[in-house]
Chain A
Amino acid sequence: MIATEVVKERQTQPPAEPLSPARIEYLERLVRRSRTAAAVFSQFTQQEVDRIVRAMVSKGLEQAQRLARLAVEETQLGVMEDKVIKNMVATEFAYHYVKDKRTVGVIREFRESNLTEIAEPIGVLLSLTPITNPTSTVLFKCILAIKTRNAVIFSPHPRSWRCCHEAIKIMYEAAISCGAPEGVFTCVEFPSLPDNAYLMRHKDVGLIDATGGPGVVKAAYSSGKPALGVGPGNTPVYLEKSADINAAVVDIVISKTFDNGTICASEQTVVIDDEIYEAVLGKFEELGAHICNECETRLLEKTVIDPQTGFMQPMAVGQSAAKIARFVGLPVKPNTKLIVAPIRGVGPEHPLSAEKLFPVLAVYRAETVDEALRVCVDVNHAGGLGHTAVVFSRNDQIIRKFGIAINTGRIIVNSPGAIGALGGVYNDLVPTFAFGCGTAGGNSTTDNINIYHYLNIKRLARRTQNHMWFRVPNQIYFNRSAVENLRHFPSRCTVVLANPALEQLGHVDIVRRHLGPTTHIHVSIIPDAEPDAQIIHQGVESLNSYQPDQIVALGGGSVIDAAKIMKLKYESPDADLEELAAPFLDLRKRVVEYPTRKAAKARLIAIPTTSGTGSEVTPFAVLTDKDRGRKITLADYSLTPDVAIVDPQFVMSMPKGLTADTGIDCLTHALEAGVSNYASPYTDSNAMQAIRLVFKYLPVAYEKPDDEEARSLIHNAACIAAMAFSNASVGVNHALAHAFGARFHVSHGRANALMLPHVIAYNAAVPAKFMPSPYTQGYVAHKKYATVADLLALGGHTVEEKVALLISATERLLDRLELPRSVAALGISKDEFEKAVPEMTEVAFNDPSWRSNPRMPLMSELNDLFWKAYEGRGAFKIVAATQTQAV
């Protein structure tokens, strides 16, 4: 063959013609037959499928030699002996991989993640097979198809049709003899490009598996059908100086001469380190390669590479080295296995750097590792993206560097590229005859195509039981004189944080008295207001100066919150409060991480002096950003105080108004935690107990401030409710109260009170929008309110009645506490409120508090709730029990 003949053959390929009606009818018959076979096949069991596969594999092995001979005779490509090996790999190795794999019904179970994978056959596959590996590809794809219960329409390359047809026939007869459905394999007679185009677009063809040249692959991907398009490669090889030269050269010769280089994963350009270049070439020569001089290289490239397209001449494909040498006119020794041609670069000016599916190998001498890698990348990008690359080295760093630099689906290490890429022989890659080349190669996968690409894998995703938690301080001391327990905590230096009023009341002295006698005590007085950056800064400076190992926070929520933030900054000076306050949906998955490395360590003991916020046991702290007029909420269990001392002696002097406000805050915590989507039996028990205590003892504590039992139990209730909401969070009531309180400077407890009856009614109704929550089963808020009503012995027979009675009881409690019962009662005019509502609605909607609310609030609903609070008593309506119970 000479170059001009090659060019002529390429130019005389017939143009595509439209299909005749008879041809269309023929193709339709093929598809119908395949579709019926696939439908019937979908009923087969794993055992039946495995029996058929086994029979086919046995027959394929038995016929491997005959099919190899047929392939070489028909295609005039490759080496018969090598094609026998290919046929055997395509059957035996494929079988070894698939034999124990489940491909029918449930194929895999992932118990930890509660996932089950179930196989669904694709149906009808259109398989285009190449001329270079005709029978082996057919054998392989038949096995894959049967193992996955699919029917295949084969469209072999026209110049390998006869041998492919014979391979399909052998596989089909073996399959049918074991019960496979008739029509499971069909083969297009006299296939043409229009036939392929028609079948590729057919509605009943589920997947195109196209192995071949770029045209075939492109057509497959352009069809709009799911496709496995596996195309050409251009395998770069890096032969690094630490490699075993003898082993490497033998591997390359094995690979590049295997079936006369027709496997597209075979080596194309070997980049050799300067230090070993001469030795490598010497070894090639010793093993039967002809090393071209510059003149011979020029001659070779002009003959085997098409000067117009830059691609290999088809007539050279699969020919022996001796035959190619004869074409070119190279004076080679008899039995020359391989022609090695030194090149000085990659690209059109260096034609031999292109893919050559015949035993011609380009070699490049590289002076440095970087140069070698650059040239390999160039070869990789010159038609080999996504396919295969090879590296020979004993240096694992070099091997990894090569792997990172090169973009191919397979990077074969210290083994022959062609056979290595097939998988299962030299490595544990999945055995295949189709190489996915990834997106860089225009393919959908980089995998070695295998059974899993012939299946739709369905996943049963069972509802998972998310881990929940109940986290509270290690130690909680309660009841009168609990402060005496301070002596159990040895301390070198303790800083007591408190506000001025508490110092005047003598509370700070009480604390001081109970700290150990050897403890250095420093008292830091901070304002009784939500802490701002300046207060925190001053506090941290004070801590840095005293270097305490213990901080006692004595005060209401503001002081304890300040202490939590000061401790955070004292222990982790680099903590960025802004960043730590970033919003999150699920605490376990949130983006920010609180610092775990501590520069210092101090125990935080919280002693509350109000009965409401429960800050002594919560993981929350609020910081006021005065500059920007907003609040920064920090939430992390690392903020939770180490010890809480709930001693009622510190609340005996609380004013009545504060008792009512903080008591209702406590009730709101408990009610919201009770119906929260994060509620658990652990939080429920706390929430319910707190609700019971508040309803029974808050009026007493309010009306008889000296009643120590009532004070004590309400103090406990606040702490118990806080343990519930620390773990179950709050809800929409808090979101509304935050927005309203901030806008009109109304105390938090009082703002909560204004919203509470309306929010109970709101949550008890059928939600306009349910809140997605993996933690709850069904909508239960109304039932939980009914449970609260039962706990309080309010009576009622139906859920609806019980919810109504709970709201009435709440109303009565608010009345007894002499709390304002409407926004209007606070003296806020309707006009003023109307102007504020849009912004308050926006703020409430952005408040993270409602994320755990059982009902997802719509903006319009928040707006309505504000207006109900404005109007006050009786503004809510209880929805019909039949409605709520149906949810």
Chain B
Amino acid sequence: MGTVAEFAVEENSLISLLEKAKQEPNNTRTDLVLDCSTVHRIDAADLRALEDFAQFATEKELNVILRGVRVDLYKVLKLIGLTNYFSFAN
């Protein structure tokens, strides 16, 4: 039985938050929710971290759900081909 971990992403906190999520030892976790509703802009470092995390999630068969993604941010993720790695929720 899987569990759900949820993190609220704040501006400039994405990289550290993703690191934290990676290191969390809960092996039974199957879903991870990142609440992005307060994220208005993402920079290159954040994108690289997200790319790495997408890779990590794929390897660990972890379902990553991005919640509250604004369309501007969604478009950025689309432009670099990251949307296929995540689920999106309102």
The CA-CA distance from A37 to B42 in the complex, in Å, is 11
Q: Is A182 an interface residue (CB 8 A)?
A: yes
Asked whether A43 and B42 contact (CB < 8 A) given A35-B80, A36-B80, the answer is: yes
Flag the segment in B14-22, B28-36, B52-60, B71-79 that touches A: B71-79
Question: Would A39 and B43 count as touching, CB distance under 8 A?
Answer: no
Checking B43, B44, B48, B76 against A42 with a beta-carbon cut-off of 8 angstroms, the contacting residue is: B76
The CA-CA distance from A43 to B41 in the complex, in Å, is 7
Give the chain A neighbours of B73 by CB distance below 8 A: 43
Q: Is B47 an interface residue (CB 8 A)?
A: yes
The CA-CA distance from A181 to B73 in the complex, in Å, is 15
Pairs of residues from A and B, 7 with the lowest C-beta to C-beta distance, nearest first: A39-B79, A39-B76, A39-B80, A43-B41, A36-B44, A182-B44, A40-B44
Question: Would A181 and B44 count as touching, CB distance under 8 A?
Answer: yes
- Indicate the size class of the contact surface on chain A: 10 to 19
Question: Would A181 and B79 count as touching, CB distance under 8 A?
Answer: no
The CA-CA distance from A181 to B75 in the complex, in Å, is 16
Give the chain B neighbours of A35 by CB distance below 8 A: 79-80
Question: Would A183 and B44 count as touching, CB distance under 8 A?
Answer: yes
List residues of A (14-73) whose CB comes within 8 Å of B's CBs: 35-40, 42-43
Interface residues of chain B: helix, strand, loop or mixed (majority): helix
The CA-CA distance from A300 to B43 in the complex, in Å, is 58
Question: Would B42 and A36 count as touching, CB distance under 8 A?
Answer: no
Question: Would B72 and A36 count as touching, CB distance under 8 A?
Answer: no
Query: B51 → chain A, closest Cβ, in Å?
Result: 8
Question: Would B75 and A42 count as touching, CB distance under 8 A?
Answer: yes
The CA-CA distance from A36 to B80 in the complex, in Å, is 6
Which residue numbers of A lie inside 8 Å of B, CB to CB? 35-40, 42-43, 123, 181-183
Question: Would B44 and A37 count as touching, CB distance under 8 A?
Answer: yes
Give the chain A neighbours of B72 by CB distance below 8 A: 42-43
Query: B78 → chain A, closest Cβ, in Å?
Result: 9
Give the chain B neighbours of A181 by CB distance below 8 A: 43-44
Which residue numbers of B lie inside 8 Å of A, CB to CB? 41-44, 47-48, 72-73, 75-77, 79-80
Query: B16 → chain A, closest Cβ, in Å?
Result: 19
The CA-CA distance from A182 to B45 in the complex, in Å, is 9
Query: A674 → chain B, closest Cβ, in Å?
Result: 44
Name 24 interchain pairs, CB-CB below 8 A, sorted by A.
A35-B80, A36-B44, A36-B48, A36-B80, A38-B79, A39-B47, A39-B79, A40-B42, A40-B44, A40-B47, A40-B76, A42-B72, A42-B75, A42-B76, A42-B79, A43-B41, A43-B42, A43-B72, A43-B73, A43-B76, A123-B79, A181-B43, A181-B44, A182-B44
Shortest Cβ distance from B75 into A: residue: A42
Given contacts A35-B79, A42-B79, A182-B44, 18 further A-B contacts (CB under 8 A): A35-B80, A36-B47, A36-B48, A36-B80, A38-B79, A39-B47, A39-B76, A39-B77, A40-B43, A40-B47, A40-B76, A42-B72, A42-B76, A43-B42, A43-B72, A43-B76, A123-B79, A181-B44
The CA-CA distance from A182 to B44 in the complex, in Å, is 7
Give the chain A neighbours of B77 by CB distance below 8 A: 39
The CA-CA distance from A182 to B42 in the complex, in Å, is 12
Shortest Cβ distance from A181 into B: residue: B44
Give the chain B neighbours of A38 by CB distance below 8 A: 79
Give the chain A neighbours of B43 by CB distance below 8 A: 40, 181
Give the chain A neighbours of B79 by CB distance below 8 A: 35, 38-39, 42, 123
Query: A37 → chain B, closest Cβ, in Å?
Result: 6
Give the chain A neighbours of B41 by CB distance below 8 A: 43
Query: B62 → chain A, closest Cβ, in Å?
Result: 23
The CA-CA distance from A43 to B47 in the complex, in Å, is 13
Q: Counting chain B CB atoms within 10 Å of each CB, which of A35, A38, A39, A181 scores highest? A: A39
The CA-CA distance from A98 to B13 in the complex, in Å, is 36
The CA-CA distance from A318 to B47 in the complex, in Å, is 45
Q: Counting chain A CB atoms within 10 Å of each CB, which of B42, B48, B79 scores highest? A: B79
Give the chain A neighbours of B44 by CB distance below 8 A: 36-37, 40, 181-183
Shortest Cβ distance from B45 into A: residue: A182
The CA-CA distance from A40 to B76 in the complex, in Å, is 7
The CA-CA distance from A43 to B76 in the complex, in Å, is 8
The CA-CA distance from A854 to B47 in the complex, in Å, is 52
The CA-CA distance from A181 to B43 in the complex, in Å, is 7
Query: A122 → chain B, closest Cβ, in Å?
Result: 11
The CA-CA distance from A182 to B43 in the complex, in Å, is 9
Shortest Cβ distance from B41 into A: residue: A43
Give the chain A neighbours of B80 by CB distance below 8 A: 35-36, 39
Shortest Cβ distance from A124 into B: residue: B79
The CA-CA distance from A43 to B46 in the complex, in Å, is 14
The CA-CA distance from A183 to B47 in the complex, in Å, is 13
Give the chain B neighbours of A40 by CB distance below 8 A: 42-44, 47, 76
Shortest Cβ distance from B48 into A: residue: A36
The CA-CA distance from A182 to B77 in the complex, in Å, is 17
Shortest Cβ distance from B78 into A: residue: A39
Query: A31 → chain B, closest Cβ, in Å?
Result: 11
The CA-CA distance from A35 to B75 in the complex, in Å, is 13
The CA-CA distance from A313 to B44 in the complex, in Å, is 46
Query: B72 → chain A, closest Cβ, in Å?
Result: 6
Give the chain B neighbours of A42 by CB distance below 8 A: 72, 75-76, 79
Q: Counting chain A CB atoms within 10 Å of each CB, which of B43, B44, B48, B76 scores highest? A: B44
Shortest Cβ distance from B76 into A: residue: A39
Q: Counting chain B CB atoms within 10 Å of each CB, which of A38, A40, A123, A182 scores highest? A: A40
Give the chain B neighbours of A43 by CB distance below 8 A: 41-42, 72-73, 76
The CA-CA distance from A43 to B72 in the complex, in Å, is 7
Query: A124 → chain B, closest Cβ, in Å?
Result: 10
The CA-CA distance from A37 to B76 in the complex, in Å, is 10
Query: B17 → chain A, closest Cβ, in Å?
Result: 18
Shortest Cβ distance from A33 into B: residue: B44
The CA-CA distance from A646 to B77 in the complex, in Å, is 72
Shortest Cβ distance from A37 into B: residue: B44
Give the chain B neighbours of A37 by CB distance below 8 A: 44
